Amino acid sequence: MTCVQVADPAPPRVSFSFPVPRISFAKGPVSPVSNAKLRSCDVFIGFHGQNPNLVRFCKWLKSELELQGIACFVADRAKYSDSQSHEIADRVICSVTYGVVVVTNSSFLNHLSLEEIRFFAQKKNLIPLFFDNGPNEILGLLNCNSIDKECKEALDGLMKSHEFKLEANECNWRSCVAKTAGILRAKLGRKSVAENDLEGFEELPFPRNRCLVGRDKEIMEIETAFFGSGDYLEQDYAMPITKGEASGQSEGLADEESDSVSTRGGRFINLELGKCKEPKLEAWVEPVLGRNSLKKLKYKKSRSGNYKSLGSNVICINGVPGSGKTELALEFAYRYSQRYKMVLWVGGEARYFRQNILNLSLNLGLDVSADPEKERGRIRSFEEQEFEAFKRVKKELFRDMPYLLIIDNLETEKEWWEGKDLHDLIPRNTAGTHVIITTRLSKIMNFEIMQLPPLSLPDAMVLMRGKRKKDYPAEELEFLQNFDEKLGRLSFGLGVIGSLLSELGIAPSALFEAVNQVPLEECSTSPHMSINEEQYCKNNPFLMKILCFCFAILQQINGRENFLASRMLLVGAWFGPAPISVNLLAAAAKNMPYAGNRFRRWTKFLTLTFGCCVGCGLAPQTEEESALLLVKLGLARRANKQPGCWIQLHPIAQVFAKIKEGLLAPRAAVQGIRKISNPLLNSDHLWASAFLVFGFKSEPPVVQVKAIDMVLYIRKIALPLAIRAFTTFSRCSSALELLKVCTNVLEEVEKSFVSQIQDWCHGSLCWKKKLNGNQRVDEYVWQDVTFGEELCRTCISIRTVMLGHNHAHTLAAQETLAKLVRMRSKI
């Protein structure tokens, strides 16, 4: 019995065929379920080669097709060690609708790959995909007289089937996978089942830095760690492979319904659906690549000696603040984004890290909302719901679909809210996903650490010359070297110098003299800075002087005062570590009162400098121009977020801005958030305002809010924020914590109103029938207290759902409501 119809009057078939596998396996008969599942495959993906990136690409292609609802079977049959595995693959090849053969240079040296090409070409269902080669090389082989007949037939079939021109190289993996999936989806008449609503989603938060210098070596080291150098151990595929060492790659039936089992040291995948007492048909899958794998990469050190071996999936970039860690990760993402399904950027700041991870569910099209349904006859606890939400994100992130996960500015190994370990998020085996972590921490778990060195002197000089790359005489170059020495070759500081020289059009000598005139007392610390931030400011006094100079520039442009840009810098320090819309930043800045120019005693010296700025084009006319002025001076980055204009202040600029104006700036930030409180776009900033208003854990509140404003803040900001955190992201613990502090504050507000009036019941809540002239109640205040009843009812409803009717917190909220009702009835 064969899979070819010999009676077809079409041109003669090739001289080989795939026999239907025998039913009498050593392990017993094959069940009808297994046969049905084998026949249910739509596409066979065949490949051959030793390059791990080839395996990575084929797994990606399989995952993408399955995401589109297309059943696949992927295999390198040359690695099969037993007849049973070959028979399984033969059965699939005979039954699939289309055959995708990933053609490499190694394919022409393997008779099984040539067999696949000839078979699918004869059936006219071949879709060739060239990997790191092209049809021109194939044409060269066709003209060679030394190839045999079978090889020539395969080459001829490839050229006739190359109508879709699928050619994958290192610069177009993502595009090629998407194009292949689109072709097969159209041919099979399938509609995508994975179309997620990702409109407005930008993979990378910032535009590419075209002025990045001096990091090519580090980028190449990360590439080598993730993708290898292309120099792999040669392996003789003719050698027999025993069952415990096989590394075959049949993964077409590895879905969520199949169970993995271990047999004699090798890994199998069960082809049965559900549980069955019959013997199970099994196929080989590739073991996890590691030190004990037969097919592994060579051990060798990079030029800096940072890596002991190739094949690392997690790289931590360590360096002091301002050394360029984020810029390095951003450049790597832009260069190699085509090698990944998606680039996912996550802020690693301690308070926001948990929410940022759950935000990935929106990008990945996952539902992690709170599930009210019962599981196994009981309602799941909050801990179980949170765990399930993280589990869904983790499961999607770390599988054969390759993602690039960048965790920027990781502040601590422990999660801030509950103290969970970082390993709870990042497993030891990240599968197809690569992870880059930028951090100031010298050690993170057991991950590889790349210590980011300072720039070389030539690179530092290029960075200080700015975007205009102006050439300076030798005496001016000495001042640039002075800047380099004073700043300790810090990338952020050198970039600010380059921006100032380019935008102001002044000489390095004039800028150096002006910065030196900044008094050190202007660079003092703030009580709201962390110990590490205070220490950083003390260790970098010259950098603080430069930032003071920039602040003066913001206040004096073209000879006239302009305080909107400087206020944006001050209030921006108190927002969350995320892009800020210009509208929100301007609304907050306009709430900040004018406190005078604290730099007048030394700006007289800067008259020459400011005089040179006339006509330089920095004078902003609109809110957007004021915000972009911060970008021009190197204090902020422009963000890719839409709609409108968004910027994000550099963390060092935020630390500096906290020194200025005391508590006026955080209060203005909270007022601005109250005016523009879009929880979908400004989630991080709403949480930042909650930290300022309430304080969490042992931290006291930074901003003292009036009672009336507090009631309005809780209604408009806090409650919607808690509800969204719970319902959309299953953040049960943090939502409860926020509701708890809201209830406590409401109770304090109620007590403050009650204390204004003394009744004759000595502390009871009954009102006197007649009030003295000096005992007046602000009727507007009591209108808000009446409105507070609605807030309490909302609180009670949430706590009843989350905690139950008889919980202590629910009863406390009910008692607060009762007090408010009694007070209002006696007014």
Query: Domains of the chain by range and CATH?
Result: 43-188 (3.40.50.10140), 314-451 (3.40.50), 518-611+618-676 (no CATH), 679-763+777-826 (no CATH)
Residue by residue, DSSP assigns 684-720 as HHHHHHHHHHH--TTPPPSS---HHHHHHHIIIIIHH
Q: Which residues contact 416 (CB under 8 A, 6 or more apart)?
A: 350, 351, 353, 354
Q: Which residues contact 513 (CB under 8 A, 6 or more apart)?
A: none
**Residue that wins the pLDDT comparison between 346 and 386:** 346
Tokens standing for 125? Answer: 């269902």
**Residue that wins the pLDDT comparison between 78 and 751:** 78
* pLDDT at residue 200, rounded to an integer: 46
Helix orientation angle between 382-397 and 732-754, rounded to the nearest 10 degrees: 140
Task: Answer for the pair 104, 131: CB distance below 8 angstroms, yes or no.
Answer: yes
* pLDDT at residue 553, rounded to an integer: 87
Confidence of residue 146 (pLDDT cuts 50, 70, 90): low
* pLDDT at residue 338, rounded to an integer: 94
* pLDDT at residue 75, rounded to an integer: 93
Of the chain, the percentage scoring pLDDT greater than 70 comes to 71
Confidence of residue 16 (pLDDT cuts 50, 70, 90): very low
Tokens standing for 239? Answer: 């050698």
- CA angle (250, 42, 193) in 5-degree steps: 105
In whole angstroms, give the CA distance from residue 761 to residue 768.
9
Helix orientation angle between 779-803 and 808-826, rounded to the nearest 10 degrees: 160
Closest CA to 128 of 136, 139, 117, 142: 117
- The two beta strands, 580-581 and 646-649, are antiparallel
- For the cut 50, the answer to whether the pLDDT of residue 769 exceeds it is no
Confidence of residue 162 (pLDDT cuts 50, 70, 90): confident
Task: Answer for the pair 340, 404: CB distance below 8 angstroms, yes or no.
Answer: yes
Closest CA to 72 of 90, 98, 36, 34: 98
* pLDDT at residue 240, rounded to an integer: 33
Task: Answer for the pair 646, 681: CB distance below 8 angstroms, yes or no.
Answer: no
In whole angstroms, give the CA distance from residue 731 to residue 555.
42
- The two beta strands, 646-649 and 636-638, are antiparallel
pLDDT one-digit tens code per residue, 427-466: 888 889 999 999 999 888 888 899 999 999 999 999 998 8
* pLDDT at residue 53, rounded to an integer: 92
* pLDDT at residue 785, rounded to an integer: 62
Cα atoms found within 13 Å of the Cα of residue 331, Cβ hemisphere only: 19
Confidence of residue 574 (pLDDT cuts 50, 70, 90): very high
DSSP state of 315: E
Of the chain, the percentage scoring pLDDT greater than 90 comes to 38
Tokens standing for 745? Answer: 């504050």
Closest CA to 500 of 578, 571, 557: 557
| Phi-psi label, residue 471: left if phi above 0, alpha if psi -120 to 50, beta otherwise | beta
Task: Answer for the pair 254, 285: CB distance below 8 angstroms, yes or no.
Answer: yes
In angstroms, how far is CA 293 from the centroid of its own chain? 31
* pLDDT at residue 572, rounded to an integer: 94
Tokens standing for 108? Answer: 């022409």
DSSP state of 280: P
- How large is the average pLDDT for residues 227-235? 57
Closest CA to 76 of 254, 249, 283, 282: 249
Where b means 16+ CB within 10 Å and e means fewer, 2-11 reads eeeeeeeeee
In whole angstroms, give the CA distance from residue 604 to residue 599.
9
Closest CA to 307 of 450, 425, 105, 210: 450
- The two beta strands, 378-379 and 374-375, are antiparallel
* pLDDT at residue 274, rounded to an integer: 32
E strand or H helix that includes residue 783 = helix 779-803
* pLDDT at residue 821, rounded to an integer: 76
pLDDT one-digit tens code per residue, 667-725: 999 999 988 877 778 889 999 999 999 988 878 899 988 888 888 898 889 989 998 99
Q: Which long-range contacts (CB under 8 A, 24 or more apart) does 798-804 make?
A: 798/719, 798/722, 798/723, 798/726, 798/739, 799/739, 802/382, 802/726, 802/732, 802/735, 802/736, 802/739, 803/736
Rg of the chain taking only CA atoms, in angstroms:
33
In whole angstroms, give the CA distance from residue 122 to residue 3.
12
* pLDDT at residue 786, rounded to an integer: 65
C-alpha dist (Å) from residue 809 to 578, 618, 796: 33, 55, 9
Task: Answer for the pair 27, 279: CB distance below 8 angstroms, yes or no.
Answer: yes
Phi, psi of 643 (to 5 degrees): -85, 165
* pLDDT at residue 677, rounded to an integer: 72
pLDDT one-digit tens code per residue, 580-636: 999 999 999 998 876 655 545 445 545 545 554 444 556 667 889 999 999 999 999
**Residue that wins the pLDDT comparison between 459 and 816:** 459
Query: Helices in 189-232 by DSSP H: which ranges?
Result: 216-227
Strongest mean pLDDT among 137-146, 392-401, 696-705: 392-401
- For the cut 70, the answer to whether the pLDDT of residue 755 exceeds it is no
> Coil, helix or strand for 342?
strand
E strand or H helix that includes residue 728 = helix 719-729
pLDDT one-digit tens code per residue, 57-89: 999 999 999 988 899 999 999 999 888 888 999
Peptide bond into 643 cis (omega under 30): yes
Lowest mean pLDDT among 235-239, 397-401, 823-827: 235-239
* pLDDT at residue 740, rounded to an integer: 86
Residue pointed to by tokens 């810029």: 327
- For the cut 80, the answer to whether the pLDDT of residue 749 exceeds it is no
The length of the chain, given as a count of residues: 827
- How large is the average pLDDT for residues 212-227? 92
In angstroms, how far is CA 536 from the centroid of its own chain? 27
- How large is the average pLDDT for residues 340-359? 93
* pLDDT at residue 46, rounded to an integer: 96
Confidence of residue 134 (pLDDT cuts 50, 70, 90): confident
* pLDDT at residue 270, rounded to an integer: 32
* pLDDT at residue 788, rounded to an integer: 66
In whole angstroms, give the CA distance from residue 436 to residue 645.
28
* pLDDT at residue 287, rounded to an integer: 33
* pLDDT at residue 552, rounded to an integer: 87
- For the cut 50, the answer to whether the pLDDT of residue 232 exceeds it is no
- Which amino acid belongs to residue 382? F
* pLDDT at residue 571, rounded to an integer: 94
pLDDT one-digit tens code per residue, 496-522: 999 999 988 889 999 999 999 888 765
pLDDT one-digit tens code per residue, 18-43: 544 433 333 444 455 555 555 578 99
- For the cut 80, the answer to whether the pLDDT of residue 314 exceeds it is yes
Over the chain, what is the mean pLDDT? 77
Where b means 16+ CB within 10 Å and e means fewer, 188-198 reads beeeeeeeeee
pLDDT one-digit tens code per residue, 525-572: 677 778 888 888 889 999 999 999 998 888 876 444 567 888 999 999
* pLDDT at residue 373, rounded to an integer: 56
Task: Answer for the pair 685, 662: CB distance below 8 angstroms, yes or no.
Answer: no
- What does pTM read for this prediction? 0.81
- For the cut 80, the answer to whether the pLDDT of residue 355 exceeds it is yes
Q: Which residues contact 2 (CB under 8 A, 6 or more apart)?
A: 17, 18, 19, 20
DSSP state of 421: B
Burial class (CB in 10 A: 0-12, 13-18, 19+), 800: middle
In whole angstroms, give the CA distance from residue 712 to residue 288.
55
Taking the alpha carbons of 813, 816, 822, 824 in that order, is the dihedral positive or negative? negative
- The two beta strands, 98-103 and 43-46, are parallel
- For the cut 60, the answer to whether the pLDDT of residue 254 exceeds it is no
Tokens standing for 739? Answer: 């509701």
- How large is the average pLDDT for residues 85-106? 92
